[in-house]
Amino acid sequence: MSTTPTSSNKKFYPTALALYFAYFILGIASSIMGQYKTEFAKAWGASTLPSGAIDVSMVVSVIAAYGLGRLIAYPFAGPVSDKVGRRVSGFIGMALYAAFFFGMISAHSMWFAYGVGIMNGVANSFLDTCVSPSVMEIFPNSASIANLFTKFAITVAQFVLPFVIGLVATANMSYKAIFIGCGILMIIDAILVLILPFPKQAGKTPANGDGTTAKPKTHFSAASIASILIGFTSSATFMIWLNCNQELGISYGIKDPSVLQSFYAVGATIAVLLTAQFIHMGLKETTVLILYPSISIVMLLLCYFIQTPVILYIGSFVIGYAAAGGVLQLATSTTVGFFPDSKGLATSLVMIASSVANYAVLSLAAYLTKATGASAPRMIILLNVVITLIGVALAVIVKRRSQGKGNAEAAKA
């Protein structure tokens, strides 16, 4: 089938650009709180620790609320996108993101901010269920590449953010300027989504001979459950690092730990491009699910034992590559392979597992920050190692069952 664009889908290219731009802003929203933990903690009346540092545990808890919001919204966001329309789902997501940016800088208490953090997760869920299906429908002949570039948009944003933070600081502007700018941009994007054309949605589940809707069969095997759970472990690996590396950098003597974000984003961006090429050349997705988390474990241990700034620069790049460069997306595609008649269900299950990770693991990180004080950053590394190791074990189960299935099919042939 030719991949040459037709005149019928060229008219949707501005829509695709608007959707990718929304993911660019999403990338900023998902990491900017981690860059300003001290500022937000002060605004919410945080106490000072015996070491003299501001207790930022409440900010980590608010970041964790993002996962709770996603968990709450995913069961509803999917049906809204499928039954009401992609445009509606996208507009809801963008409007809520604008409310998040404006709401967070208006918060004067941790609990108000916590509610805004939940709204951030709800916004993410509605945007997910709009953007991924939409770009795959706009580029039907290269759907997987189109979806992969949603991750690319996020990593580019996370690379650019530290430079924006530097410019704002140099201009003696408040950090709130970034939030205001992003909120305005998201409002403009939401208006564009209301105006721009969307492609016809993919067909619904086929009907039976008697006219009733056919119900897809789902069977949960040990491998499929393991594949779903990788959504938890893979998300935990990069979310813990992304939101907790600032304090680690300071403890290791880095004057401007926000630079770590750039190394992380470069690694993730390169990984998206290289991994797609490797898989195109024949590397199995299940092999990546074992290899990349294993690399993350080695790097995390090096960051634990070697307490120098240089190792964190290297570590940020490697963690960005091996943890945030598409493992979650490959876990999703692998899970879809176990449920070929229920692709939406499979995707939702992996993303729900990802949402649980965001909430549960960052909440645990917040507890460790409060309970262990100055040693918290290195304790959180060990927590990350344990979770990522579990992810490798799950991936081994998936690969063995997949090989067994492949061997059985070969024997039948």
Instruction: Write out pLDDT tens, residues 197-207.
Output: 998 865 454 44
Residue at token pair 């893979």: 234
Read off the CATH number of the domain in which 111 is found. 1.20.1250.20
Give the tokens for residue 238.
């990069």
Enclosing H/E stretch for 289? helix 285-305
Say how far apart CA 240 and CA 381 lie, in whole Å: 8
Q: Is residue 213 part of a domain?
A: no
Res. 2: pLDDT tops 70: no
| CA–CA dist 248, 244 (Å, integer) | 7
Does the residue 211 lie in any domain? no
Whether the predicted pLDDT of 196 surpasses 90: yes
CA dist 325 and 321 (Å) reads 5
The reply to whether 16 falls in a domain is yes
C-alpha–C-alpha distance, residues 59 and 104, integer Å: 11
Mean pLDDT of 334-355: 75
Per-residue model confidence (pLDDT) at position 406: 52
Alpha carbon distances (Å) from 281 to 79, 276, 284, 285, 321: 36, 9, 9, 11, 19
| The pLDDT of residue 6 is above 60 | no
Query: Sorting pLDDT into bands at 50, 70 and 90, what band is 34?
Result: confident
**Two structure tokens written together for 309:** 């700034």
Nearest-CA neighbor of 151 among 1, 331, 335? 331
Residue 256 and residue 164 share a domain: no
Instruction: Determine the pLDDT at residue 15.
Output: 95
Both 139 and 287 in a single domain?
no
Instruction: Kindly state whether residues 339 and 371 are assigned to the same domain.
Output: yes
In a domain, residue 206? The reply is no
Three-state SS for 252?
Answer: coil
Q: Classify 44 as helix, strand or coil.
A: coil
Q: Is residue 149 part of a domain?
A: no
Does 184 fall in a domain?
yes
* Residues 411, 262 share a domain: yes
Residue 84: pLDDT band (50, 70, 90) is confident
Residues 163, 21 within the same domain: yes
pTM equals 0.74
* Total domain count, the chain: 2
**Per-residue pLDDT tens for 137-166?**
888 776 666 777 788 888 888 788 888 999
* 4 domain residue, yes or no: no
Residue 103 is part of which domain span? 12-144+155-201
Do 384 and 323 share a structural domain? Answer: yes
Over the stretch 219-270, which tens digit does the pLDDT of each residue have?
788 999 999 999 999 999 998 998 788 889 999 999 888 789 889 888 988 9
Tell me, yes or no, whether 37 and 172 share the same domain: yes
Specify whether 77 is located in the same domain as 194. yes
Assess whether pLDDT exceeds 90 at residue 194: yes
At 35 the pLDDT is: 84
- Mean pLDDT over 352-380 rounds to 85
User: By three-state DSSP, how is residue 213 classified?
Assistant: strand
Domain co-membership, 231 together with 108: no
Domain identity same for 194 and 265: no
160 lies in the same domain as 229: no
pLDDT at 182: 96
Phi, psi (rounded to 5 degrees) for 186:
-70, -35
Are 309 and 249 in contact by the 8 Å Cβ rule? The answer is yes
Do the domain assignments include residue 233? yes
Do both 52 and 105 map to the same domain? yes
Distance CA 230, CA 232 (A): 5
Compute φ and ψ for 393, nearest 5 degrees: -60, -40
